[in-house]
A and B are shown apart, each in its own frame.
Chain A
Amino acid sequence: MHDVFMKKAKSCRCPLALLASVFLIALAMPASARDIRLATTTSTENSGLLRVLLPKYEARCGCKVHVISAGTGKALEFGKNGDVDVVLVHARAAEDKFMTEGHGVNRRDVMYNDFILVGPKSDPAGIRNAKSVIEAFRMLSRGGSRFVSRGDNSGTDQMEKNYWREAGVSPKGGWFVSAGLGMGEVLTMAGEMRGYTLTDRATYSAYRAKTGLDILFAGDPKMFNPYGIIAISPKKYPMLNHTGAMDLIAWITSAEGRQAIAGFTLHGEQLFFPTPGAA
């Protein structure tokens, strides 16, 4: 075996070596320094907000923003690992932890919308009549109907876990379906099972497939859903595009950015509300 390889190595042809070196050179070239990598959640991406928002910024900075969308948990993980320059998520507790652990700098509030509870029009669990979101969750825990949970450590998932905790419920049993999927898939699943789920308003409004789900409960202040943007710590990862990240953060929280966010509507409905700025 060894002899064969030695023989082959000796008679290695030039074209192969050339191809290999070209490939290695291409690999060694770093990504464009001016581009910004943003990790965000599926609700901002899938709703179409970023598609409308970012080109405005790209025109200003003459750069490109590469968007990687995943659940909040995953997005923050990318941030921790230094794989992106900036993160835009909606899970306050997780964001605060991210900051105290020193992974990020310059956290700013960007916008908010709300979470809503959706379910079958007939509302067998009767949550339309609940006085608060916690009461609604208690009603759901009686187990008469299915509840589909994200189960993926996303912003929505973390909010849901908070509600169960406050309601004093540890959800288990056949009625509780932990899907481990994105919001869109969970909406479809809930529709198919004629069950309930917690979703953010933007994703629900933007979701194109018919689910047969109606908004059954909303408006509780506890359902407030704020989004925050954080630049990844340049001390931890000096190779990142920190200038770009800070510039994007500055823009998105500026009057221009806020206007763009407020101007984004779907079916005439505004889905995201910019955090009021200093001026």
Chain B
Amino acid sequence: MNPVQVTTDAFALLFGGDAELWGIVFVSLKVAILGLLIAAPPGIALGYLLAMKRFRGRRVLVVLLQSLLAFPTVVVGLVLYMLLSRHGPLGALQLLFTQDAMIIGQAILAFPILSAFTLSAVQGADPRAHETAVSLGAGPWRAALTVLNEARFAVMAAVINGFGRAISEVGCALMIGGNIAGVTRNITTAIALETSKGEFAQGIALGLVLVVLALGINFSMALLQGEGGMK
């Protein structure tokens, strides 16, 4: 198999405007973005609290969070399957094999990243930021938002990382989405399918799309951050 041939075939499919291909891309984006939107507020809030507050069991929680970063996606998928299956405790919600289930899965996978990275970000911020905010009369919410804003580049990195994990994972999406054509088939599950069919060109094409997406998102983040003068 000629790698050059496979790649040129891949580009042909990409720019040929294949409707199925772009449908798959849309599912990837939709599920990852919604999953991230759901996980971001609690994830960032937890990271902030862990950085700012001292309480009993804090260290345990931090260690737990950091271990979850390495949690295999297939296991998350399996556990979710057992919960969401009609056979299982949350079966009545009829969520299995839907995009909603995938969104939940992505949110769960992104959550530890958002928390752990935000924790880092806030710890890395100037400790005077919070005190200055408070001394100027900011309440706890405003002070929190101010600190997060001061650490915004690192917090953005948390979000991008979380998004990266969500959009590039396959184990969980496959297990609870079911890889249903036109419904729960996203880029990564499609790559798995095409590979199992020996359709390597299609698989590479989808992989390239994923890379381009990732580049695009990182690029626009960099633009938003402007000069990125501070850390």
* A touches B (Cβ under 8 A): yes
B96 part of interface (Cβ distance < 8 Å): yes
Chain B nearest CB from A154 CB (Å) reads 12
A187 — nearest CB in chain B belongs to which residue? Answer: B198
Stretch of A23-31, A88-96, A107-115, A136-144 that contacts chain B: A23-31
Q: Are B140 and A82 touching (Cβ within 8 A)?
A: no
Q: Are B140 and A27 touching (Cβ within 8 A)?
A: no
A81 part of interface (Cβ distance < 8 Å): yes
Chain B nearest CB from A36 CB (Å) reads 11
Number of interface residues of A (CB under 8 A): 41
Interface residues of A in 174-233 (CB under 8 A from B): 182-185, 187-188, 206-211
Cα of A82 to Cα of B180 in the assembled complex, Å: 17
Indicate whether A81 sits within 8 Å of B178 (C-beta atoms), given known contacts A188-B198, A209-B198: no
Summed over the interface, the residue pairs from A and B with CB atoms below 8 Å come to a total of 81
Could you say which of B87, B93, B181 contacts A82, with CB atoms under 8 Å apart? B87
Contacts of B72 in A (CB 8 A): none
Chain A nearest CB from B211 CB (Å) reads 22
B53 part of interface (Cβ distance < 8 Å): yes
A237 part of interface (Cβ distance < 8 Å): yes
Q: Are B86 and A185 touching (Cβ within 8 A)?
A: no
Chain B nearest CB from A39 CB (Å) reads 8
Number of interface residues of B (CB under 8 A): 34
A246 part of interface (Cβ distance < 8 Å): no
Q: Are B85 and A207 touching (Cβ within 8 A)?
A: no
Contacts of B197 in A (CB 8 A): 46, 184, 206-208
Q: Are B180 and A184 touching (Cβ within 8 A)?
A: no
A123 part of interface (Cβ distance < 8 Å): no
Stretch of A62-70, A157-165, A252-260 that contacts chain B: A62-70
Contact with B along A48-64 (1 / 0, CB 8 A): 00010000000000001
A208 — nearest CB in chain B belongs to which residue? Answer: B198
Q: Are A83 and B97 touching (Cβ within 8 A)?
A: yes
Cα of A51 to Cα of B197 in the assembled complex, Å: 14
Chain A nearest CB from B196 CB (Å) reads 4
Indicate whether A27 sits within 8 Å of B97 (C-beta atoms), given known contacts A4-B140, A66-B180: no
Indicate whether A82 sits within 8 Å of B91 (C-beta atoms), given known contacts A27-B100, A239-B86: yes
A18 part of interface (Cβ distance < 8 Å): no
**B binding-site residues for A, Cβ under 8 Å:** 1, 38, 41, 49, 53, 55, 85-88, 91, 93-98, 100, 139-141, 178-183, 193, 195-200
> Can you spell out 15 A-B residue pairs with CB atoms less than 8 angstroms apart?
A8-B141, A27-B95, A28-B93, A51-B181, A66-B97, A68-B178, A68-B179, A81-B85, A82-B87, A83-B85, A184-B197, A185-B195, A208-B198, A209-B199, A239-B86
Q: A46-B193, A80-B87, A206-B197 are in contact. List 18 more A-B contacts (CB 8 A).
A: A1-B55, A8-B140, A28-B93, A31-B98, A37-B97, A46-B196, A67-B181, A68-B179, A69-B179, A83-B85, A83-B86, A83-B87, A184-B196, A185-B195, A188-B198, A207-B198, A209-B1, A209-B198
The 3 closest A-B pairs by CB, nearest first: A209-B198, A81-B87, A68-B178
